[in-house]
Amino acid sequence: MGKRIAAAAAAVVVLAVGYETLDVYDVVPGPLTRASAEHRAVPEPGKTRVGPSVAPPSPAKATAIPAADGPEQDAAKVRAKVAAALKKPDLAKKLGVVVADGKTGDVLLQQHENSAMTPASVTKLLSGWVIANTLDMSKSLTTKVVSGSSDNGIVLVAGGDTALNPGKGDPEHVNGHAGLADLAAQVAKSLQKQGKTSVTVGVDTSYAPGPLTAKHWDPGVVAAGYTARIAQLGLSTERATDPARPTPADPVASTQQAFVKALAKQGITAKTGAHTRAAKDATVLGKVESSPLLDVLGNALQTSDNAMIESLARQAAFHEGVGGSTAEVAAFVERKLKAAGIDMKGVKLADVCGLSSGTTIPPRVLSDVLLTGTTGKNKPFAEVLTRLSVGAYNGTLDNRFMQPTNESAAGDVRAKTGSLTDVASLAGTVITEDDRVLVFVVISNAAKSWGPYGTRAAIDDFVADLQKCGCSK
């Protein structure tokens, strides 16, 4: 009781500084034990196990990912093992759950699997599937500068990279992989060869255009910086990952201004110009590239970056000639999944990141999508699954699976989190004690007096029981 009272007091302090709100919108990881908990040693990304048909990530340091093809699990034993965990009071009475064998797809446990539930950010799994099956995941996003129509005009052309470093690029990281300082150095060299030292920097945003926010996003959430605006050009330092740093009202304008400053450091006097359309035959003065799209998408999923997922999905839609409005992109995602054979009954997407109210997804749909990857039926999505957050290690699972009741699953869980004020969800894969990969989906829709933290812990306990099962036939 004393520990619970102390934790409650801590929660009051956290609420005072707004951490819970950030946590609810997946801006920062939860729960409340982040500062004091110790991280367990877990495998590095690319060395953890996802499923029997999952190829090593690229680039990969490991030569292979273990197959995790232990004995099949007995459904009755699985149900018996997790029965107590499913009855915990912090979970909703109408709890959506699916557990399936990651190799065969056989369902081992399900309840309310066809109920249309509010999923929160696990929605991003559907978007991730469509992005991976529309765009070439091996390619990068190019940001370039070309000559303009006037003698002293140049054009910064947006190419979808919303994680540009204001300084030099960092080749070891996804966030900030490409740098404006590097781009400015290339452009300055090209301009100096032409004898130019003064330019006006226009910007071309004709690639995958659309609104800055999703139609149903709460304006207060956006204004507070809990999500960035949606764009095809942005800075690594202005993503919605730091509660002390507000996101810009216009990521493109902010990037354009940062590039002007980068040019100044290269001896080029520059000023910002208007939006324009670069000529198709314009001379390329410089270009920089992001990490491969697989890594970009993986980073967006790990950090639960709403704006980046929306941006990538908009790019996928644009690739197939679909407009960039919220409704058009959402319909595109639904249509692509349906065409792939996913039963979309009960699915309604108000956006493609899970932040808007009005989205519903039955747990069965999420399970079906995950199984396309773990069974090897869909190789692009299988690779995406290797990029999901690892329990107790990184992303929005950074400090989960660290309690005595669930720490056994640390390193063996790869999943996407979902959090809203009345939603706690988790969907992904877990490796059992006897080395079998299982797919799981848990969605709890209920307001709790203890907020989302108790519910998350209860979900983690359930998944840990799956990991400890050893329920072979």
Span 189-204, pLDDT tens digits: 999 999 999 999 999 9
List the CATH code of the domain at 140-291. Answer: 3.50.80.20
- Which residue from 228, 239, 305, 276 is spatially nearest to 26, judged by alpha carbons? 305
Q: Provide, rounded to the nearest whole percent, the portion of the chain with pLDDT above 90.
A: 79
pLDDT tens for residues 337-384? 999 999 999 999 999 999 999 999 999 999 999 999 999 999 999 999
- Span 434-452, average pLDDT: 85
- Which residue from 230, 226, 220, 218 is spatially nearest to 245, judged by alpha carbons? 226
The span from the CA of 63 to the CA of 52, in Å, is: 15
Segment 229-232 long-range contacts (CB within 8 Å, at least 24 positions apart): 229/307, 230/307, 230/310, 230/311, 230/314, 231/158, 231/162, 231/205, 231/307, 231/311, 232/158, 232/159, 232/160, 232/161, 232/162, 232/205, 232/207, 232/208, 232/311, 232/314, 232/315
Buried-exposed string 390-420: b where 16+ CB fall within 10 A, e elsewhere: bbbbbbbbbbbbbbeebbebbbbbbbbbbbb
The span from the CA of 230 to the CA of 233, in Å, is: 9
pLDDT of residue 46 exceeding 50 = no
pLDDT range class, residue 224, cuts 50, 70, 90: confident
Q: What is the pTM of this model?
A: 0.90
* Cis peptide preceding 31, ω within 30 of 0: yes
Q: Domain 44-135+299-467: state its class.
A: alpha beta
pLDDT tens for residues 245-263? 779 999 999 999 999 999 9
β-partners of residue 417 are 426
- Which residue from 398, 410, 395 is spatially nearest to 464, judged by alpha carbons? 410
Structure tokens, 206? 């004709």
Q: Pinpoint the residues of the chain covered by CATH 3.40.710.10.
A: 44-135+299-467
Q: Pinpoint the residues of the chain covered by CATH 3.50.80.20.
A: 140-291
Q: Cβ distance 29 to 396 under 8 Å?
A: yes
The span from the CA of 429 to the CA of 437, in Å, is: 7
